[in-house]
Structure 1
């Protein structure tokens, strides 16, 4: 009996639960788990992860849209530039050897995990974030929409392009770029930041997954059960979020991510 589809479904569900509990950044663990547990090369794991992120992020974006938290104009602008750069990342991922990609991914994971640990420590200590200056994208509270300016559009375009390139190159959704960027460049509440980020992720990841499918680099036998498991896990994570969410969950996730990053680096060096 072939247990691969069930193992793939279980891994996807685990990633989905993490996404539901921790927000947009949970999908970053898709690639390392596929590399470790299914022994896939980075170039194959990336498109599979993008497929799962597409399905899960779309579900989250729909929930955000219904709650009127999704800033769809900002999401579309960022997604357009993300879609432009995503094919370049996908192309480069097929050209670069597996070991350098593993090292780069482990460094990205280390950055994300350490940044999250510092943020959680600050939240638990009750220290407010220092306010240096007003962000370029201001929310008009009277109509609930962003006030568009050239600096605002430029900041969002650059953020979307960066997330798109890394999405194609490493198979990550880019939530670890988009959420901090929206937090820095806008004064949107966190609910809107996460919903808008998920909207961008859904579009950019879908573009990358479609290109991979069209070029024959997407393993659908693994991608389909992994995406289904991710969606089920996301919905379960959203239910669990009401009961066990909080800074401690972020802290556990960050430590787990750091362990994965170090393990990935060791695997790359010894490969």
Structure 2
């Protein structure tokens, strides 16, 4: 039986989050685009825009709001309350994980919505590719890599990736299917040996939950929209608000 969360509309999902439901959004709202949120002071918005342009696979920008905006053209909800989790940063450090950020949303914050690979997971499943974290009901594992992003202005930092184990016979299918979705990270950036991109232990993700890689499976790594939050940390940005990794903004933009 299909998970009823997959059949929800974006508005129905956002109302549940506004009412207090807290869980990762993988498997929610099939057919709709999910997005990473990062909101930075207006003085840094130009640097973040350039950082995204220079690192488009990790930071595919779907929409940018006006300073202080609490919604955007593709998100007809309240960015301060309608995600299932938030992370607050001061001086580059994560200082609080929050259920809502109404009191923390400054008038100078510019919200960026960046495509999320959760969007194409239903397409992977339709093609017969297993999505392990959805099967197990856990958050996707995410890892900092040794791959440096192209810097922009004051912003710099490493690429962050998400990992999904795929049976060897289905690797080409996973690459082809996800490659149809360049606005939500597209095809994997790395296939196989995690050590080649600086990941020492798949059982210890930097964000999210570990999932098993079973015999006959290959780990596939996709660029991840937590990358700009990592840049906020590496660059010591004075103030920022992001989504709690894996807890996305579900937009009103169709996956197609």
Q: Give the TM-score range, shorter chain.
A: under 0.3
- Structure number, greater radius of gyration: 1
Greater RCO, CA 8 A, separation 6+? 1
